């Protein structure tokens, strides 16, 4: 008898995002995908272990990954990888990497699964105010033969059509990743670089010829706040 794929909804988490965390949990509860085929797992990197108690009360599987004097970039790489490892160790068919300030619509899992791609992303915006833009990065060769990556502001270039689009990166705010692809992922950071793990992830997928697609009609709300608000150390 055929059963629907098992989906792990996973992401790093911190008490810095508790301003919208309960709303995030409620939004997942509205998903139309069968609840018995979904599990939530969070890799918590809060300043103290007390946030894990909240996750326990909500019945959410989690692991605590303290910074231990490291910068946020290195810590986040370990958190992302913990999500991948949990998905593989527990026989999930897909991981929906859904950051805890990103709010997709109720049918996001079905919409991304129908794309049938190794990595299928929802579309959300980043930055603030006049600088706010869709999280899309396209990589093409410029007129000198170099590979260039750049953002797409608003609907520049006609890229946002409501249809799937192959991209260099669409972030990890809402990314459905197949189990086969998870085997190829090793999140990392570089000590002499401030690039975040999602950037290295996109580079590694590009180099491995694993395509990333974004569904430009699968719009997600991003309730982001400035990281500076939380005095996070980027060392």
Is 235 inside a domain boundary? no
Is 2 inside a domain boundary? no
Considering only CA atoms, which of 170, 187, 174 is closest in space to residue 74? 187
Is 138 inside a domain boundary? yes
pLDDT of the residue at 228: 39
pLDDT of the residue at 137: 87
pLDDT of the residue at 92: 98
Measured CA distances, 22 to 19, 25, 108, 144, 220 (Å):
8, 5, 19, 49, 17
Residue 70: alpha-carbon gap to chain centroid: 22
Q: Specify whether the CB–CB gap between 154 and 133 falls below 8 A.
A: yes
DSSP state of 169: B
Over the chain (235 residues), the average pLDDT of each successive run of 10 is 88 94 97 97 94 95 91 92 98 98 98 97 85 80 59 62 91 97 91 78 93 95 64 31
Is 196 inside a domain boundary? yes
Q: Specify whether the CB–CB gap between 152 and 79 falls below 8 A.
A: no
Is 74 inside a domain boundary? yes
- Find the radius of gyration of the CA atoms of the chain: 17
Number of domains in the chain: 1
| Residue range of the domain that includes 223 | 7-230
CATH, residue 35: 3.90.550.10
pLDDT of the residue at 143: 60
Is 1 inside a domain boundary? no
Beta pairing, strands 164-167 & 94-98: unpaired
Sign of CA pseudo-dihedral 18, 39, 174, 109: negative
Residue matched to tokens 């999602």: 198
pLDDT of the residue at 71: 82
């Amino acid at each position: 008898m055929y059963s629907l794929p098992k989906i792990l909804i996973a992401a790093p988490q911190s008490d810095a995002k508790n301003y919208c965390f309960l709303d995030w949990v409620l939004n997942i509860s509205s998903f139309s995908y069968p609840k018995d085929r979904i599990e939530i797992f969070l890799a918590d990197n809060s300043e103290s272990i007390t946030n894990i108690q909240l996750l326990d009360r909500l019945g959410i599987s989690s692991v605590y990954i303290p910074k231990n004097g490291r910068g946020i970039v290195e810590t986040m790489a370990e958190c992302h990888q913990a999500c991948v490892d949990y998905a593989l160790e527990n026989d999930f068919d897909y991981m929906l990497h859904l950051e805890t300030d990103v709010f997709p619509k109720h049918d996001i899992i079905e919409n991304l699964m129908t794309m049938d791609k190794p990595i299928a992303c929802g579309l959300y915006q980043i930055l603030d105010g006049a600088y706010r833009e869709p999280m899309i990065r396209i990589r093409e060769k410029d007129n000198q033969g170099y590979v260039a990556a750049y953002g797409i502001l608003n609907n520049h270039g006609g890229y946002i059509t409501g249809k799937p689009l192959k991209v260099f990166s669409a972030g990890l705010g809402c990314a459905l990743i197949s189990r086969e692809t998870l085997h190829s992922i090793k999140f990392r950071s570089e000590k002499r670089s401030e690039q975040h793990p999602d950037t290295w992830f996109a580079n590694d997928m590009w180099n491995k010829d694993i395509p990333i697609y974004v569904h430009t009609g699968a719009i997600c709300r991003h309730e982001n706040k400035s990281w500076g608000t939380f005095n996070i150390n980027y060392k």
